[in-house]
A = this chain, B = another copy of it.
Amino acid sequence: MDPTQIATEFTNYYYNLFCTAREQLKPLYRDQSMLTFEGQPFQGANNIIEKLTSLPFQRVQHKVDTVDAQPNFNGGIFVCVTGALQSDNDQPQRFAQFFQLIPDGTSYYVLNDIFRLNYG
């Protein structure tokens, strides 16, 4: 399957769950997964989900503007996303996020995840 198509489907799935049920993102991560969130490092599915579910907003909505994908030589896929997010009643903020997806049976998991707000 085309890496861009996989990246787009992953992105839709990820941000939809992020918005509706963040704790259900956990199966996408593994013990060896790494998240760097606004410069803070986290390793392992438990620590990553604890961080994501403790973010201090009630509602969040991502508007994805661009999804770029490149294949890796191990069957993985690099995904770069840019867009805007709005949490609670705050002003929308630009963000950029990078994922490395690793094949796992018929699906993929997230080995690397780097998130940054990209202030104007």
Q: Which residues of B contact A69 (CB under 8 A)?
A: 36
Q: Copy number of this protein in the oligomer? A: 2
Interface flag for A120 (CB, 8 Å): yes
Q: Smallest CB–CB gap between A114 and chain B, Å?
A: 4
Question: Interface on chain A toward B: helix, strand, loop, or mixed SS?
Answer: strand
Q: Smallest CB–CB gap between A52 and chain B, Å?
A: 17
Q: Smallest CB–CB gap between A37 and chain B, Å?
A: 9
A114 to B118 CA separation, bound complex (whole angstroms): 16
Q: Which residues of B contact A94 (CB under 8 A)?
A: 94, 118-120
Please determine whether B98 and A66 come into contact, CB atoms closer than 8 angstroms: no
Q: Which residues of A contact B (CB under 8 A)?
A: 34, 36, 39, 41, 65-66, 68-70, 72, 78, 80, 82, 94, 96, 98, 100, 112, 114, 116, 118-120
